[in-house]
Structure 1
């Protein structure tokens, strides 16, 4: 399992990915007339998608806690139902489908992006994640030992998605040209 700090850091990346995707649609909640020209409300839903991504990235862990009891123990075994990939994927698909109908679906979309990012961060360690059935692990490292790799990869993904959707890969092309110049013939 990635550390709590890693899940928060990857959550910001997930939130940025969610906001970039929702913003790229341009007409979220078109049934209510909210689009890029509607100003403040449109950008409010983008911000909510970002913040929901941050919350969703820690959700699989805090959803296991029995908040209603004084002892705050887990009400469900760790990495079971709250870490189930099908559930998070279903929320992502449903909220994506509802984005054009109601702008509040952007919150669900961001939350699901964060939840999936959490599962991706937990997947490399031996305990694994129950994507479809029993837990599956990549067995790459033990919990918390390679958080920098997980966080770095999540931010690379965020950079790539934003650059693709908003800038049509302009920054990736500049980076590749710079690498070509630096490694070209001497």
Structure 2
């Protein structure tokens, strides 16, 4: 499992991705308020698989669902993401649900590399790259790199990506 800080950081990246895609779909709303709300939903969704397991209504706040079972099920989060994306432009709630699902999927991607894994379809699957809480910087950097590329594509028509590629090509090792 990635650390709580890593889930928060990747949730913010998921929020940026969701806001950019909502704006790209033309669903940003007046003054891009709906895009901002999908960003907030993405940030909340980034930690949702963990806090949905907690019985907030009890005094002890114990888990009412075993950790990394139903709330970490990949098919459900991907179905929610796909359904809400297809509903963009047709339902007022779709941008918020899309943001929330983006954060949830990002959470699962952050949990996937460690040995406990994530139940994508039936059983758990793990990439077995490192132990829980280690190498969080890789997951956070990858999520923010994806957010940067998507935001660059949506808002700046890949200007920064082309400049970065031109810079890399100009390096002596690449010639």
| Category of TM-score, reference length = shorter chain | over 0.9
Question: Does the 8 Å CA contact 1:163/1:169 hold for their aligned counterparts?
Answer: yes
Shift of 1:185: 8.1
Q: TM-score, normalised by structure 2?
A: 0.95
Distance in 1 (alpha carbons) for counterparts of 2:36 and 2:75: 26
Partner of 2:166: 177
Secondary structure of 2:119's aligned partner? coil
Give the gaps of 5 or more residues in structure 1. Answer: 29-35
CA offsets, 1:5-40, max 9 Å, x none?
Answer: 0000001100000000010011x3xxxxxxx6x633
Structure 1 residues 46 and 185: CA distance shift in structure 2, 3 A: closer
Specify the alignment match of 2:30 in structure 1.
Answer: 39
| Structure 2 CA distance for aligned equivalents of residues 39 and 116 of structure 1 | 27
Equivalenced residue count is: 175
**Matches of 1:101 and 1:181, distance apart in 2:** 46
- Structure 1 residues 77, 167: CA separation in 2 closer, same or farther (over 3 Å shift)? same
- 2:83 aligned with 1:94: yes
- Identify which range, 71-80 or 168-177, moves more after superposition: 168-177
What is the alpha-carbon distance in structure 2 between the residues aligned to residue 177 and residue 86 of structure 1? 39
TM-score (norm 1): 0.90
- Matched residue of 2:154: which SS? helix
Greater alpha carbon shift after TM alignment, 91-100 vs 112-121: 91-100
Q: Deviations over 1:116-167 (max 9, x none)?
A: 0000000000000001110000000000111000000000000111112222
Cα distance between partner residues in 2 of 1:115 and 1:39: 26
Runs of 4+, deviation exceeding 3 Å: none
- Contact 2:168–2:174 under 8 Å retained in 1: no
Structure with bigger gyration radius: 1
Which residue of the partner structure matches residue 140 of structure 1? 129
